[in-house]
Amino acid sequence: MFSYLYGKRKNPYCLSGVIYISVTSDVATDQRVLRTARTLHLSGRPVHIIGRLLPDSLPVSGLPFRITRFRMIFRRGFLFYACFHIRLFFFLLFRKKGFLLANDLDTLFPNFLVSRLRRWPLVYDSHEYFTGVPALCHRPRVRAFWKSIEKKIVPRVPVRITVNGSIAELYRREYGVHFNVVRNIPPLWEPGEKPTRAGLGLPGDAPLLVLQGTGINRDRGAEELVRCMVYLPDVYLLVIGGGEVLPRLKEMCAEMGLERRVLFTGKMPYARMMQYTSVSDLGLSLDKDTGLNQRYSLPNKLFDYIQAGIPVLASPLPEVRSIVEKYEIGELLRSYDPEQMADQIRSMLHDRGKREHWKKSLVNAAKTLCWEKERKELIRIFRQAGISFPRL
């Protein structure tokens, strides 16, 4: 498999050495990266994650593997990526024996260079259809830059992973290469002592909606959701996480007098987030179909809601529709009109028959859609890449 990289010589680092995982996130809330790192570590491999440190980043202490987070002068744009790529390249270049895992297109170039120079195996994990994200759709020159990197490097990486079959098919059509699929699915959630709303400082008996995510940005339906709260006077909304539209959402709440019923928690550790989610009545996933990446996305929060045991109201994107309809765990959004959205939410909250059916279906879905099953595919892929696991 690696013959085109290494010739006929055996790669001396293929069966030993540290697995270096690169990502441009702050790591703390990147559940896919952390789940991958834990799986590889528990399988007996040393792991070292390289990410970045932001002013509002949560701590990452207490984890069983090393984490290095770069402090960056620039936080976005060309200068950020240029500086991050240079630092990542030299950081990896002078490590000892290694195996490389590049997460997303924005870490692939330095990883590819190091893999060629050091003759280290490289796996590419694309968390999304990167060149189809909304931030690039209206910036043709920037998109063309990333597309050129993708076109030159992706077909030359021997082992590739992505998050669902739709995105894997997009890459197959475009480059004629195979992508393995490992979905963003959390582990089985066992809360221990069941949390209570009172213990979490939440309203007691009123219906509670939850919208969570590390990237609550434009075109995620958050603005329409806040507007629809005007038509749900007895309902509370919990917004967990961060994103570029949060300041605007808070302004909207102030303008509409919703400050007491729309609650913002900010970012929080996964276990704590799941406690808040589990005491909610309805989980929301409202991403819009604004481009290829959004159209074929499969948000992490959908699976978090399943593990927390709460029904979902989700936008009818193809991958999302497949999960909601197959496992019968909620409804698909019929309209982004705030008043119609409110009508659908009200109906879901008060239909006891449907809620009982959804609750039963969620129990079965949680047992099937869990990392304990998905990680087997991840290990298979890494074995395909030539790495051994001493504890398996």
Element (H, E) at 133: none
Q: With bands split at pLDDT 50, 70 and 90, how would you rate the model's confidence at 15?
A: very low
Q: What is the pLDDT of the chain when averaged over all its residues?
A: 91
Flag whether pLDDT at 319 surpasses 50: yes
Cα–Cα distance, 128 to 294 (Å, whole number): 9
State residue 392's pLDDT score. 65
Could you give the CA distance from residue 49 to residue 52 in angstroms, rounded to a whole number? Answer: 10
**201 φψ region: left (φ > 0), alpha (ψ -120 to 50), beta (else):** left
Does pLDDT of 8 surpass 50?
A: no
- Give the list of residues 6+ apart from residue 230 with CB closer than 8 angstroms, or none: 256, 258, 338, 342
Distances 60 to 19, 39, 64, 68, 189 between C-alpha atoms, Å: 18, 17, 10, 10, 20
338-344, Cβ contacts within 8 angstroms, sequence gap of 24 or more:
338/224, 338/227, 338/228, 338/230, 338/231, 339/228, 339/231, 341/224, 341/225, 341/228, 342/228, 342/229, 342/230, 342/231, 342/232, 343/231, 344/313
The alpha carbon of 279 is separated from its chain's Cα centroid by a whole number of angstroms, namely 22
Residue 220 has pLDDT above 60, yes or no: yes
54-64 average pLDDT score: 88
Q: Is the pLDDT of residue 1 over 90?
A: no
Provide the sign of the torsion angle of the four alpha carbons 88, 89, 93, 97, taken in this order.
positive
pLDDT digits (tens, 9 = 90+) for 173-196: 999 999 999 999 999 998 777 889
- Give phi and psi for 115, each to the nearest 5: -60, -35
pLDDT at 204: 84
Cα gap 371→384, rounded to integer Å: 20
**344: nearest Cα among 375, 382, 316:** 316
Assess whether pLDDT exceeds 80 at residue 296: yes
Element of type H or E holding 36: helix 31-42
Contacts of 32 (CB under 8 A, 6+ apart): 103, 125, 127, 163, 184, 300
At 348-360, the pLDDT tens digits run 999 999 999 999 9
Helical segments of 44-139, H only: 77-93, 105-118, 134-137
Lowest mean pLDDT among 187-201, 222-236, 371-385: 187-201
**The CA-based dihedral angle spanning residues 264, 207, 222, 354, taken in that order and rounded to the nearest 10 degrees:** 150
Is residue 324 over pLDDT 70? yes
pLDDT of residue 10: 40
Does residue 363 register a pLDDT over 80? yes
The 10 Å Cβ neighbour count of residue 64 is 10
Question: Which residue ranges make up each domain of the chain?
Answer: 3-185+371-384, 197-368
Inform me whether the pLDDT recorded for 329 exceeds 50. yes
* The CATH number, out of the four listed (3.40.50.2300, 3.10.20.740, 3.40.50.2000, 3.40.50.720), of the domain defined by the range 197-368: 3.40.50.2000
Residue range 3-185+371-384, CATH number:
3.40.50.2000
Query: Which amino acid type is present at position 186?
Result: P
- Is the pLDDT at 111 greater than 90? The verdict is yes
pLDDT higher at 57 or 101: 101
- Mean pLDDT, residues 237-264: 94
**pLDDT value at 4 more than 70:** no
Residue with tokens 């398996």: 392
Weakest-pLDDT range from 17-26, 132-141, 195-204, 316-325: 132-141
Q: pLDDT band for position 16 (50/70/90)?
A: low
The pLDDT value given to residue 212: 92
Give the span between the Cα atoms of 94 and 112, in whole angstroms: 15
